[in-house]
Structure 1
């Protein structure tokens, strides 16, 4: 087969790679031995000006047995392997195959990528407290940043409170930054990490320390993940509630923008409530001039919208694209059909939202209830083929009573009762949500003024 290529199997390639690693390891070992021998027989002279001692060269470990002992927390093996400063500060190296784009081949290929960590990082991330203590007692550098992070980053990210306490008691820096510019407090992103956050602050972590790139504070991170207890903790330690990140967003903006999952709605509601009660400004706009109300409407979060409106959010402010909060809510209707978007639209209209242009009705094609609320704000229904054509036939058939009543009223006068409702709502304007309750009218008529759903138009 001298003129042909040999088809390597995966096992063959793995064997060749292991052999290459063994050769590299042996070469490094021999080089280290030669250097040690030279130092041993070289005379040492100490003059008036002494040169500083060179730092320790990093030692790499690729032994699977050592890796297995660390990842499984085998305390007896770890005690037998890591006995001094040199071994406890080994760099644990592993190789994994990752997809990378090859411009030469014009395709994605698997390429070996080296990953580095340390014994202290591995044991801290897995909560092996006895192993962590053994490594620290035998000279492990508590603040060593290996593979981009220190051990304290891993213990906090994996909510290992006891390991976090142990590292801090051995003088770990609570404000140490990773290569990505994150402090340990920025990695407390789950409810289970609250004890770690408390320990960090007790040991001097800076509550207003920002990430290097986005300039986000721990309060931003907690608000983004809907962590009410973390938010409360940071505010007690003096977190700056008005701080803006690089995109100009406050913690309130982050919370409202991240509340996009209905299952986590309660968590974000509590965070927003706490921030507003602590003095957060409901009108501060962030990225693309999005206010918290824009973000909450985009996520169809009725309770947060009501909170923001109660705290002075402007209902008709426009973002950079010219959209009001109502526009954002309409564009999200199809994504949140189960979130009762019609109630959100009615709430915004009752707080003085400007009349909705008929061209926006196309966004309500799958929600006839939302369309009913909007059409009941018009004194007459204009012919508009765009929204009629956007309604799927199956939806039209299911709600034919409503759509047939709308067709009958095209370019026709509405009932006198409805026209009176439109006149009263127009007169009340932004005070509609409060003014209706103060009118000396029967409760049934007050409810009629609030745009109730009837399933048809008249």
Structure 2
């Protein structure tokens, strides 16, 4: 059917053009192969096939490639040898000099091929010309292939072009990663879709780290990528060389309080797909440890609702509560009382009184922790750590806590602790299900009141 007889869309015309170009290229390749067979590979042809690649440091060649100047590329790359030459670039990088005792600029040479340069920068027309001239689609000079670079930079048009002309969707870089491993930005979703449509293996593991594309996407909080991989059969139980699952990668990748929404959404998808909330790596670090270390309260609550253990210790003997205390020191100016409350509601033990000093300047968090005791312990360790200006601002709370040291608590508080002890790690769920007034429910769950009674 002629193009003028049907209202083709631009996307359809582009697909037809790419398909026609691929068919023309395939015809030339088959004709060359048939000629080689008919002549039984004469010495000249064999020499051409095994001849080493040419190296090039010509600035004019590099400028044409790196700037995407199609006219210059067409003028410079007119045959297969030119299209497959090795382009050597040199740049200065900082390196530590033990002899001189300081950082120095050191020249570093990098090798690649023209097609990889064009694909990395999204120069689709230049890449098409190089392919027409016989550029090897899966060449890995310098480490990655052209398809790796196109995915890493989220150039979906180049990915489509390379796949249309026969690039391998599962080509391995010298580091042992596939192009799907390099779809690491939200903009690369279309690249991932094209790769999977072309037969990319979703559960392939990187050679050294044994990370799958699902691990990579989860660690970066890429919700749509994770959904795509799960829809194509990604296995949530696969582990890295360190024994980490994709769920652990998602919790470790959360960047801190207030910034873990995308990672929380990823974790929810993984849990709904059957991920184990208690799965620990080789150091027995669970997803909950990671969420607490990053100060992500909502993410920790999600894990606890799906069966994560609030009192489990890692190989260093640290519980999730210990991780929160460490996060308090490393990440000031946040509100850890949500995390403390969630862990206590799901069965975590109160912190050692000596550790209260880490929350001395966070009155809301300190109140939650103090209300986990039947009697306010000696406060010498944390009182000295309170900043004078903070004491003045929250004098009512600090004074009430100081007055209750080693004093009998109210019967109401003791009854609260008795109910919580009876419910154990089911405290949060029971409070949601019991027909309690909202005020009583909040009191049972250690709501912040601004004073100790």
Relative to the length of structure 2, the TM-score reads 0.86
Larger mean CA deviation between 380-389 and 310-319 belongs to 380-389
Describe the SS at the equivalent of 1:332.
Answer: helix
Within a 5 Å distance, the mapping from 1:346-385 to structure 2 comes to: 346-385=341-380
> Displacement of 1:393 after TM fit?
2.5
Q: What is the CA–CA distance in structure 2 between the aligned matches of 1:250 and 1:194, rounded to whole Å?
A: 22
| 2:452 corresponding residue in structure 1 | 457
CA deviation profile, 1:348-387 (whole Å, cap 9, x unmatched) = 1112212222122122122111000111111111214222
Residues 441, 200 of structure 1: alpha-carbon distance in 2 compared, 3 angstrom cutoff: closer
| 1:166 corresponding residue in structure 2 | 161
Describe the SS at the equivalent of 1:76.
Answer: helix
Residues 184, 65 of structure 1: alpha-carbon distance in 2 compared, 3 angstrom cutoff: same
| 1:197 corresponding residue in structure 2 | 192
Pick aligned residue for 1:315 from 310, 316, 325? 310
| 2:52 corresponding residue in structure 1 | 57
Pick aligned residue for 2:148 from 149, 153, 162? 153
Within a 5 Å distance, the mapping from 1:162-241 to structure 2 comes to: 162-241=157-236
> Displacement of 1:339 after TM fit?
4.3
Relative to the length of structure 1, the TM-score reads 0.85
> Displacement of 1:441 after TM fit?
4.8
Question: What count of residue pairs does the alignment treat as equivalent?
Answer: 413
CA deviation profile, 1:304-350 (whole Å, cap 9, x unmatched) = 11211111111111111111112211221244555421011111111
> Displacement of 1:208 after TM fit?
1.1
| 1:411 corresponding residue in structure 2 | 406
Q: What is the CA–CA distance in structure 1 between the aligned matches of 2:254 and 2:212, rounded to whole Å?
A: 19
Q: What is the CA–CA distance in structure 2 between the aligned matches of 1:263 and 1:55, rounded to whole Å?
A: 57
Q: What is the CA–CA distance in structure 2 between the aligned matches of 1:79 and 1:48, rounded to whole Å?
A: 30
Q: What is the CA–CA distance in structure 2 between the aligned matches of 1:148 and 1:112, rounded to whole Å?
A: 19
Pick aligned residue for 1:83 from 78, 87, 90? 78
Describe the SS at the equivalent of 2:307.
Answer: coil
Greater C-alpha radius of gyration: 1
Larger mean CA deviation between 167-176 and 276-285 belongs to 167-176
Q: What is the CA–CA distance in structure 1 between the aligned matches of 2:134 and 2:105, rounded to whole Å?
A: 38
Consecutive unaligned residues of structure 2, counting only runs of 5 or more, are 1-39
| 2:319 corresponding residue in structure 1 | 324
Q: What is the CA–CA distance in structure 1 between the aligned matches of 2:277 and 2:382, rounded to whole Å?
A: 33
Residues 140, 333 of structure 1: alpha-carbon distance in 2 compared, 3 angstrom cutoff: same
Residues 115, 443 of structure 1: alpha-carbon distance in 2 compared, 3 angstrom cutoff: closer
> Displacement of 1:274 after TM fit?
0.4
Q: What is the CA–CA distance in structure 1 between the aligned matches of 2:100 and 2:432, rounded to whole Å?
A: 72
> Displacement of 1:47 after TM fit?
13
Aligned-CA RMSD value: 2.2
Consecutive unaligned residues of structure 1, counting only runs of 5 or more, are 1-45
Within a 5 Å distance, the mapping from 1:381-392 to structure 2 comes to: 381-392=376-387
Q: Does 1:67 align with 2:67?
A: no
Q: What is the CA–CA distance in structure 1 between the aligned matches of 2:435 and 2:202, rounded to whole Å?
A: 52
Contact 1:90 1:118 in 2 (8 A): yes
> Displacement of 1:109 after TM fit?
2.7
